[in-house]
Amino acid sequence: MACDICGKTGTPLSDLREIYQTDEIKVMCPDCEKVVNKQLRSIQSMTGRLQRALLQRFMGERKERITK
Ligand SMILES: [Zn+2]
């Protein structure tokens, strides 16, 4: 078996969480896992900020509608 991302063989492989798997990428080596996890944290931080901003905007708009 080889890492589905870099193709390295003779390395331990971790199963990617099912929700992140694609048809071509299901397992990866520790090096790829490290990089992918770092990217995931970065994306989660970005989408977290976006989620807060969108919800706050929604609440503000709802307040406007109701109180005017
Ligand atoms: Zn790899």
Residues with CB under 5 A from ligand 1 (ion): 3, 5-6, 8, 29, 32
Q: Is residue 42 part of a domain?
A: yes
For residue 55, what are the domain limits?
Answer: 14-67
DSSP string of 26-57, one letter each residue: SEE-HHHHHHHHHHHHHHHHHHHHHHHHHHHH
What tens digit of pLDDT does each residue of 30-52 get?
999 999 999 999 999 999 999 99
What tens digit of pLDDT does each residue of 16-35 get?
999 999 999 999 999 999 99
Q: What is the pLDDT of residue 37?
A: 97
Q: What are phi and psi of 21, to 5 degrees?
A: -70, 150
What is the count of structural domains for the chain?
1
CA distance 38 to 14: 16
Three-state secondary-structure class, residue 61:
helix
Q: Is residue 53 part of a domain?
A: yes
Q: Is residue 9 part of a domain?
A: no
Q: What is the pLDDT of residue 32?
A: 98
Token pair listed for 43: 């994306």
Q: What is the pLDDT of residue 68?
A: 81
Q: Is residue 56 part of a domain?
A: yes
Cα 39 to averaged position of ligand 1 atoms, centre (Å): 14
Q: Is residue 57 part of a domain?
A: yes
Q: Is residue 3 part of a domain?
A: no
